[in-house]
Chain A
Amino acid sequence: MIRRADCLVLGAGPAGTEAALAAAEAGLDVVLIDEQADAGGQGWRAPLGSLTLPRKGADAEAGDRLRSRLAASGVDRRLGRRVWSVGGAFRLDAVGPDGAEAYEAPRLIAATGAHERVVPFPGWTLPGVIGLAGATVLLKAQAVLPGRRVVVAGAGPLLFAVAAGIVAKGGTVAAIVDMDGRLAWARRLPGLARRLDLLKEGLGWTWSILGARVPFLAGHGVRCATGRSEVEAVIVGPVDADGAPIAGPERRFACDALAVGHGLVPGGEVPKILRAAHLYDRLRGGFIPELDPYGRTTIENLYACGDGTGIRGARPSAAAGRLAGLAAAHDAGRLDAAAFTALAEPTLQVLSEYRPFADTVAGAMALRPAQVAAIDPATVVCRCEDVSRAEIDAAVDAGASDINQMKHFTRCGMGPCQGRMCGDVAAELVAQRRGVTRETVGYWTQRVPLRPVPFDTMIGSFDYADIPIPPPAPL
């Protein structure tokens, strides 16, 4: 059975949900699909249904408001579905609770979000080392702490959110290790002050961290994580403003967990697989689809919004989602030009008000090329296939000129994570080794399945007798 609709929205985070709501309000039959059991995405994720928590954070409340608006809307919610294929104009294949499902519509809005970048260091594959975004999921959705003594390291606002979350839940943060120096944050203040509400949230984190007297190392990075079968300690040292390690005293922190992350990378597999034009934008996290102000890609009737189109954060993503939903409704002839403009104008305004704040935060989360340049040759870059930096360099020296050739030479990016964990860093390594731009090196060729799915679920209840056999041609 194929569920046909006017518009499909893939991804039920702030962007996708707002897009679905706007399109449905304008009269489109909208199906909203997501892998998680509830809307909200990673940032506004709902806590596990079975948990009762003492107090909700601002993000959980924003998520609750979004979820209740969605529940009251006419949007057909298909949650808990893992979409593994996208094609045509447009069809999605998914695996749901009862097996294979298919969806078709003349319009598709891709809102698949971002994933974390972790720039490799020796020991980053040890159990007990987790991403900052993963730590956020544990803290917010599960009320679980990553360890008894946690080192929180990397760059960007997630550092402080995770550290404050651990402190609030009664855990111990062994140290906060921030690649940015104090100067960098001071320079960012004017941009952050443009959104006082969000700045206040940030200051609240800082306050609780100060209260807990957590050692805070500004302008430091992780040198290595050590341990036999699990992480036991982290060694940190000073880095310069570009993220390159510099001489200076190193410090060792004993811990049972390291939460580490260096910003976010736009996911955006869908526009890539459908061959929309992309451009590289380091501030926005990597390759992003070329969009008009409303989220139209270069492919007709394909729209994209949210962090998958460049890192901006949840609230600006919600605004961008609304614009994409309105554009889809307008293009489908459900909103005339006047109504479209009247609805879109205020949202465009909101988006531009967020811009200085979003750019400032994105700046803290952007790739630091000097940090990548300093990766030790023996360090594993591709976790799935255990490919080291030295092997990537050797492939480039042997003639691999872009990211896909390098993949064929080394198997880097060929494993089950499909290059999501290493892609941004691997491409940067190739670009640096060749001395060319990231545009020249390109991005992984996207292929289905978008996510691993069991083969038997994918084919559904299939029987040989179902294959139509044409009658044999007369002799």
Chain B
Amino acid sequence: MSLWRATEGVTRPAEVTFAVDGTDVSAPAGEPLATALAAAGMLGLRDSPRGGTPRGAFCHMGLCQECVVTVDGRIVQACLTPVRAGMQVRLGGTLR
């Protein structure tokens, strides 16, 4: 279903809101976008170019490129991109 944030003893920064394909999503400021998306239940980020099968973040450390999305018009790796208020995220179809 989704990632979830541990709560016991953990203090996180205040949440910010950003848009994913027009839908508002909130997450602690500075959290990696791949984590924020998965925590919001958005695990599938794109389809593979040839087989068209769903893909999501796999390595969470900037290597596999499976988490590639578009942020404010630029292609980025979601696992390396910190969440900012107001960012415009587009999923699907990148790297196709």
Contact = CB atoms under 8 A, between A and B. Distances in A.
A430 interface: no
Contacts of B28: 50
Interface stretch (A141-149, A329-337, A341-349, A464-472): A141-149
- What is the interface of chain B mostly: helix, strand, loop, or mixed? loop
B1 A133 contact: no
Contacts of A257: 3
A137 B5 CA distance: 13
A383 B54 CA distance: 11
A371 interface: no
Nearest to B5: A144
30 contacts: A50-B28, A51-B12, A125-B53, A126-B54, A127-B43, A127-B44, A127-B55, A127-B56, A127-B57, A130-B57, A130-B59, A142-B35, A144-B35, A145-B6, A147-B2, A169-B6, A170-B6, A171-B4, A171-B6, A230-B43, A230-B54, A380-B51, A383-B64, A383-B66, A385-B49, A415-B65, A416-B65, A421-B59, A451-B62, A454-B75
Nearest to A42: B61
Which interface class (under 10, 10 to 19, 20 to 34, 35 or more) fits A?
A: 35 or more
Interface string B65-96: 11010000011000000000000000000010
A126 B44 CA distance: 8
Interface string A353-386: 0000000000000000000000000001001111
Interface string B34-55: 0100010001110011110111
B59 A383 contact: no
Interface residues of B, number: 45
A420 B63 CA distance: 7
Interface stretch (A1-9, A52-60, A287-295): A52-60
Interface in A232-279: 256-257
Interface of B: 1-13, 28-32, 35, 39, 43-45, 48-51, 53-66, 68, 74-75, 95
Contact of A230 (B32, B44, B51, B65): B44
A384 B49 CA distance: 8
Contacts of B3: 138, 144-147, 257
A137 B13 contact: no
A416 B95 contact: yes
A385 B52 CA distance: 11
A386 B53 CA distance: 9
Contacts of B53: 125, 386
